[in-house]
Amino acid sequence: MLPSVNLLIIADHASNYIPEKYNNLGLEKKDVVTHKAYDPGVKELAINLSNKLNSQLVLGQYSRLLIDCNRDEDDPTLISAISDRKIILGNKKITKQEKNYRINKMYRPYHEKIKKKILENKINMIISLHSFNPIFKGKKRFLKYGILSNQDRRLSDLILNELKKGKKIVGDNEPYKGSLIGDTLYKHALKRGIHHSLIEIRNDLLSNVKKIDQVSNLMYRVINKSIKSLSITL
């Protein structure tokens, strides 16, 4: 890491934790260990990469089935009643009281922690880590990585180019769009003018410790090269 860069790594969907009182929101146990509930492999990758880069780290603590921390508070998908075409009974008729409880207990503390890290550590770069399924709607995804960005592409373009140089199969705002208003990077990075990028990794590349370390090593090299190419004074 360059000494002038104060990096924060975040993982909105690091956890599939659902407190016992919610009874898995009416879902089967097999559903809460899949991409429906969290981003498999991302917690371990974020910790590994953060240690290599000596960065700050904030991990989401609750399943996105309870509340999606990568949404604005007013987003209708903040608490979804359907996930991957499956009804979430525990969210279907959620009361205003329960919604406010989840916002205050699960959502706002996560964002307050990010805000605190930014202010206390003079953060000037944020990288958000996510993972995606290798199969979507019955079709195989050939992309291995995706670099997502909104209006500020400075860091994302550099990371994208480094991955392409290494002949990695990478998408530009694929497999998802990076233009979600009110998401975590919009809220904490874009509005503050902080360099940022969202990196998606196909989750079969994060299925065991060895693979996670391989992806971590790749991202360590790519991020460091991108920082060095960023010809600014941070």
User: Domain coordinates of the chain in residue numbers?
Assistant: 7-18+29-62+110-229
| pLDDT one digit per residue (tens) for the chain, 234 residues | 444 899 999 999 999 999 999 999 999 999 999 999 999 999 999 999 999 999 999 999 999 999 999 999 999 999 999 988 889 999 999 999 999 999 999 999 999 999 999 999 999 999 999 999 999 888 899 999 999 998 899 999 999 999 999 999 999 999 998 878 889 999 999 999 999 999 999 999 999 999 999 999 999 999 999 998 885 544
Exposure string of 58-79, with b = 16+ CB inside 10 Å and e = fewer, is: bbbebbbbbbbbbbbeeeeebb
Peptide bond into 175 cis (omega under 30): yes
> Which residues neighbour 19 within 8 Å (Cβ) at sequence distance 6 or greater?
none
- Dist. CA 135–CA 133, nearest whole Å: 5
Read off the pTM.
0.95
The CATH label, of 3.40.50.150, 3.65.10.10, 1.20.1250.20, 3.40.630.40, for the domain at 7-18+29-62+110-229 is: 3.40.630.40
